[in-house]
Structure 1
Amino acid sequence: MKSSDSMDKRKVPMFYYVIGTIFLAAVLVVCVFSPSNERSVDRLHSDCLCAKGQGTTTEEMEKLHTNISVPPHESNDDNFALLLRKAATDDKRVIITDVNEAFAAPNSMLDLFLQSFHNGDNIGHFLDHLIIVAMDQKAFEKCNSVHPYCYLNEQPGINLSSEKVYMSKDYIDLVWSKVRLWQFTLEQGYSFLFTDVDVMWFRDPFRHISYYADMTIAADVFYGNSEDHNNNPNTGLVFAKPTRKNIEVMKYWREARERFPPMHEQLVYDNIKYELVSKFDLKVQYVSTEYWGNFCQPQKNFTKLSTFHACCLVGLETKFANLKGVTEEWKTYKSINHKS
C-alpha cells in the first residue's frame, strides 16, 4: 500500500511537468505561426521571449506593445520595399524626400535640390541612397527623367499635384502621407533621414546626428540645448532608427491626428512630444540651426552649415528665389575657400 501511494505521488509532479511542457509548446507554436501582418519580426521575437519567461513587461507597456505593425494595405507595398532594398546603404540607411507636380516642375525646387548635392562638399554619393516620393503622376514622370529611385504615392480621391496653400486640407493630407511611409520604412528594418525638397544640402548632415537618440529632428528655433523639448521642432529634417520603439511612436503620432484634426504632422508632434517621452521613453535630439539652418533663425555661417531649409517662407516662388540666393552664396564661399 505504501509502495503504491509513493508511486502515485511520484506520478503527480510528472503529470504537471508533461502538462506544462505541452502548454509551453502550444504558446511557441502560436508565436511562430501567427500571420505576418499581425506582428513585426521584432515583436515576434519579443513576445516569444516573454512566453518562455525570459522577459517581463508592465501592464501599461504590454498594452503599448500590442499591434505595432501597419495595417495590411500599407505593409504590403512591394514597390516601395523594393526601392528601399535598392537605395539603402550597407547598414540599411536611406534618404527620403517627396514632391508633387508643382515642386517637380522644370527649373524648380526638385532641380535645385538635386543640384545642391553636386554643389556640396563631397556629398554627391548620397544621391545613390535617395528615394524621391512623387505624390502625382506628373511628378513621378519628372522624377524618372532625373533620378533612378522614384516612387508613386498617389492618395485615392486626393489631388496633390498643385502647390498647396499652407494648412489647407490638401496640404494636411500631403504632409501626413509621409509619416505613413516613415513607419513602413522602419518596419522594413531601415533607418531613414527624411528631407523636405526645399532643403539645400551643403555637407553631410549625418555628422550632426547623435546616435544615442531614438530620433533626431531639425529646429525652427534652437535654444541651445539639443535635448530641450522647448526647441521648436521642424519635421522637414527627421532621422529615425528602425526600432520597435520608433515604430510605436510613428503609430501613436499618426493616431494623434484625430485629436488635432486641423493640424499638420509637425504641430501634432509639438503637442504630443511630452506624451511620447513619458509613454515610450523617447530620446529626441534637436539639431542647432548653426548646422541645419533655415530662414526662421538664419545663421548663414558656411563654415558650419550642412543644410539650409526654406521654412518660415510662404509660397513656392518665394522659397525658390531665396534658396537660389543661398545656393549662390555657398558657391561663392566654396570658390574663395576652395575647401570647406
Structure 2
Amino acid sequence: MSIQSIEKRKTPIFHYGITIFLAAVLFVSVFSPDSKIPLDRLRRDWLGAKGPDTTTEEMEKLCTKNLVPPQGPQPQESHDDNFATMIRKAATDDKRVILTEVNEAFAAPNSMLDLFLESFHNGEDNITHLLDHLIIVAMDQKAFEKCKSVHHYCYLHEDLGSDLSSENLFMSKPYIDLVWTKVTLWQLILEQGYSFLFTDVDVMWFRDPFRHISVYADLTIATDRFFVNPEDHGNNPNTGMVYAKPTKKNIEVLKYWLEARQRFPTTNEQTVYDQIKYELASKFDLKVQYVSTEYWGNFCQLHKDFTKLSTFHPCCLIGLKMKIAQIKNMTEEWKMYKQSINLKS
C-alpha cells in the first residue's frame, strides 16, 4: 500500500475525532452544573423569548407544573364588583389578566387613562382585543366613576389608609402607599389561580407585550436600564411592567416582598425589590426575565426603534404634565411611523 493511500485513509478518521471532541466540549459546557449557558436559557433563546411570540400550546405544556388551580366562585361573592369575580370574567382562555391602577389625577379628562386606552386603538396587530382582559383598579370614587364611563372592568379599591386621589409627589407617603397596593393585588390574582401582566397606566401599548415574555421565567420585569443578559439581576428593574405565573413559589415571593417593606419603610416597592432581588433568587430559586428597553421602552435608556418597541413608559420624567406632553409626542411619532409603513406597502 502506498504512503499516499494511507494518508487518504487517515484524514477522515482525524476529522471524525475532532468533531467528536468538539461535540463533547459543547455537551459539558452546556449541561454541567457550572455551565454559564443554562439549559433553560438555551431553550428560551431557541424558542425566541427575546422577541418573537413564545405563547404556543407546546411551550405552555412545558411550564404548567406547580400552578395554582383557578378558584371557583365563593359563597360570599354577591355582586359584580367582587375582585375575584372580575378576575374570572376578564381572564383570557389561558387564565391571564391585565391589571392597572388609576387615581383621580390620572383619570381626569385628557390625562393618563385616556392616553393609555387610546394607545391600544393606535397599536398594531389589532391589540384592542386585549382591553377585554384589562382590569382597572380605581384608588378613589372619582377615578372609579371615570373608569366606568370608558371601560367595563373597573374595581374600586377600598380601605386605603391615605388620600390617593391627587397627583402624589415621588416618594411621598401617599405615593408609597399607592405603589404598594399593586403588590397586594398581584398576590390576590395569583391566589385565585390566574397569571397577571401588570402595567402602570402611563405605559403606552404599541404591540402585544406578551410576545417578549418567556414561559420559563417565574417573573418577567421591565427595566430602567438593560445590560445584555435578560437573566442578570444586575439589570435595573422597573415594576411598571410585571408578569407572573400563579405558582406557589410566586405567591411566597410576593409575601416575602411585602414583608420586606418593614425593613425599608420609607421607600417604594420597586426599590425594595432591587434591594432584595438576590435574596429572592437564593431563597426561592427565583428565575427572573428582565426585558430589554428595546422592547419595553422608556426615557431612562431611550430607544426609538419602532420596529421593535411593544410598549413605552415615560419613567425618568418628573411630573404629570411633563409625562403627558412626552407621551403625546411619542404617540405622534408612532402614528407617523405607521403611516410610513402603510405608504411603503
TM value normalised by structure 1 = 0.77
Please list every run of 5 or more consecutive structure 2 residues that lacks an aligned counterpart in the other structure: 1-65, 70-79
Mark the CA change 1:43 to 1:306 in structure 2 (over 3 Å): closer, same or farther. closer
Partner of 2:72 in structure 1?
none
User: Per-residue deviation at 1:44?
Assistant: 10
Question: 8 Å contact 1:88–1:94 — kept in the other structure?
Answer: yes
Partner of 1:280 in structure 2?
284
Partner of 1:138 in structure 2?
142
Question: 8 Å contact 2:67–2:245 — kept in the other structure?
Answer: no
Question: 8 Å contact 2:193–2:246 — kept in the other structure?
Answer: yes
What fraction of aligned residue pairs are identical, expressed as a percent? 76
2-structure distance, mates of 1:309, 1:317: 14
1:257-297: CA deviations, max 9, x gaps? Answer: 00011110000000000000001000000000000000000
1:110 has 2:113 as partner: yes
Secondary structure of 1:98's aligned partner: strand
User: How do 1:52-201 and structure 2 match up within 5 A?
Assistant: 79-121=82-124, 122-201=126-205
Partner of 1:323 in structure 2?
327
Counterpart selection for 1:258 from 248, 256, 262: 262
The alignment's C-alpha RMSD in Å is 1.9
2-structure distance, mates of 1:263, 1:277: 21
Secondary structure of 2:239's aligned partner: strand
Mark the CA change 1:303 to 1:256 in structure 2 (over 3 Å): closer, same or farther. same
- Tell me which amino acid in the other structure corresponds to 2:202: D
**Between Structure 1 and Structure 2, how many residues are aligned?**
269
Mark the CA change 1:149 to 1:78 in structure 2 (over 3 Å): closer, same or farther. closer
Secondary structure of 1:96's aligned partner: strand
1-structure distance, mates of 2:324, 2:254: 30
2-structure distance, mates of 1:98, 1:157: 16
User: Per-residue deviation at 1:78?
Assistant: 7.2
Counterpart selection for 1:310 from 311, 314, 338: 314
Question: 8 Å contact 1:134–1:154 — kept in the other structure?
Answer: no
1:63-94: CA deviations, max 9, x gaps? Answer: xxxxxxxxxxxxxx970001101100011100
Secondary structure of 2:82's aligned partner: helix
Question: 8 Å contact 1:198–1:309 — kept in the other structure?
Answer: yes
Question: 8 Å contact 2:168–2:174 — kept in the other structure?
Answer: yes
Structure 1 residue ranges (4+ consecutive) displaced by more than 4 angstroms after TM superposition? 42-45
Question: 8 Å contact 2:68–2:193 — kept in the other structure?
Answer: no
1-structure distance, mates of 2:297, 2:68: 41
Question: 8 Å contact 1:217–1:285 — kept in the other structure?
Answer: yes
1-structure distance, mates of 2:201, 2:162: 21
2-structure distance, mates of 1:199, 1:155: 26
Please list every run of 5 or more consecutive structure 1 residues that lacks an aligned counterpart in the other structure: 1-41, 46-76
2-structure distance, mates of 1:267, 1:158: 20
2-structure distance, mates of 1:329, 1:80: 37
User: Per-residue deviation at 1:158?
Assistant: 1.6
User: Per-residue deviation at 1:43?
Assistant: 10
